[in-house]
Amino acid sequence: MFRPTGPRPAGRQVRWPAAALVAAGLLGALPPHAAAVPLVTTQYARVSGDPGAAGIASRVAALVDEAAPRIAPLVGANDLRPIPVVVYVDSRQFRSATGLPQRSTVVGLAAFPTAVIHVDGTGRLASVEKVVPHEVAHIMIWRAMGPAFGELPLWMHEGVAEYAAGERASQVDPVTLEAVGRGESLPIADLDLALRGSDRPQALAYAEAASIVNFLVSAKGPGVIAELLAAAREQGDFPAAVKQVTGWSMQDLEAAWRVSVARRWRWPLLLQSPVLPFGLMLVIFIAGYLRYRRRRRRREQQQDQDW
């Protein structure tokens, strides 16, 4: 399940696949949305919804058509059958059809085991352009993992979905990522709990999950995601899969990731530091003074010679 956390800056999506797993039975048992009719069918999408949702349904289908064939090989999914999507033009209807509380801020949701995407098409909190690729990634992870879906830690689900959706960690939430750069990050072992929570630790955990997956890809190549998912599926154990694919223990991964983040943020953070402008001014002043003294001495020597 995938929800933006509370009132958020920049309409960023935070979503919870584990919550979707917990709610899976409930969602699977839901009666179909009363007014849902087939609206648009394309190569990779089968969109239904309220008859008044035809316009938004076409946009959603186009987004699925772009995302599905791109994300499937990234996660190692072979199943490219059209993804069922239900779009809603009424936020209340979206929430009641998906069993979400009315005060919920969730605007997109991938329900399992039905593997149906539900999208609030009103644009409330986030545009469908922001929501759909991320949800498609969750569906493709589901198709790649099958019954081993639950073997992946929550942070891996979210990090991969965010990476696959194309929102690089550095663009997701600069403020939170900067906190990670300052060393405020949580231990990897605490991420899943934080992702299920609320407020700031959740946003931090979310940015961190995306950052770790970006790091894995930059260190081991884009094939690493599909390899990790396949290994987790076969071994039934995520740390063992990480060891097999990357050669790293979870501690090694965490240490290597922290080094990369520190390296990446050392300069930006230094440039923001209030000490730096003063230091620069001092250097410029000293350089200017030395130059002035050198010139004066040279002039004096010249005068000596002229004399």
CB of 208 to Zn ion, least distance (A): 14
Sole binder of Zn ion in the list 40, 161, 229, 253 (CB under 5 A): 161
Please give the structure tokens belonging to residue 86: 């239900």
- Residue 155 touches Zn ion, criterion: CB under 5 A: no
Q: Which residues make Cβ contacts (< 8 Å) with residue 213, sequence separation at least 6?
A: 156, 159, 160, 162, 163, 169, 225
Alpha carbons 90 and 122: distance in angstroms, whole number: 7
Query: DSSP readout, 39-60?
Result: EEE-SSEEEEE-GGGHHHHHHH
CB of 41 to Zn ion, least distance (A): 25
Residues 6-35 that bind Zn ion (CB under 5 A): 15
CB of 8 to Zn ion, least distance (A): 14
- Indicate the residue among 84 and 258 with the shorter CB distance to Zn ion: 84
- Indicate the residue among 50 and 135 with the shorter CB distance to Zn ion: 135
CB-side exposure of 183: number of CA atoms within 13 Å? 6
CB of 17 to Zn ion, least distance (A): 6
CB of 141 to Zn ion, least distance (A): 9
Size of the site for Zn ion (CB under 5 A): 4
CB of 37 to Zn ion, least distance (A): 28
Alpha carbons 126 and 275: distance in angstroms, whole number: 39
Is residue 17 within 8 A of residue 110, CB to CB? The reply is yes
- Indicate the residue among 158 and 208 with the shorter CB distance to Zn ion: 158
- Residue 3 touches Zn ion, criterion: CB under 5 A: no
- Residue 2 touches Zn ion, criterion: CB under 5 A: yes
In sequence order, the β-bridge partners of residue 84 are: 46
- Indicate the residue among 50 and 167 with the shorter CB distance to Zn ion: 167
Phi, psi of 115 (to 5 degrees): 55, 50
CB of 20 to Zn ion, least distance (A): 8
Residue 249 corresponds to which amino acid?
Answer: S
- Indicate the residue among 40 and 203 with the shorter CB distance to Zn ion: 203
- Indicate the residue among 14 and 47 with the shorter CB distance to Zn ion: 14
Please give the structure tokens belonging to residue 37: 């009719």
**Residue 9 in 3-state DSSP?**
helix
Applying CB under 5 A, the span of 91-99, 124-132, 153-161, 204-212 interacting with Zn ion comes to: 153-161
Which whole-number Å values give the CA distances from 88 to 96, 121, 295, in the listed order?
11, 5, 76
Closest residue to Zn ion, judged by C-beta, is 15
Using CB under 5 A, list all residues that contact Zn ion. Answer: 2, 15, 158, 161
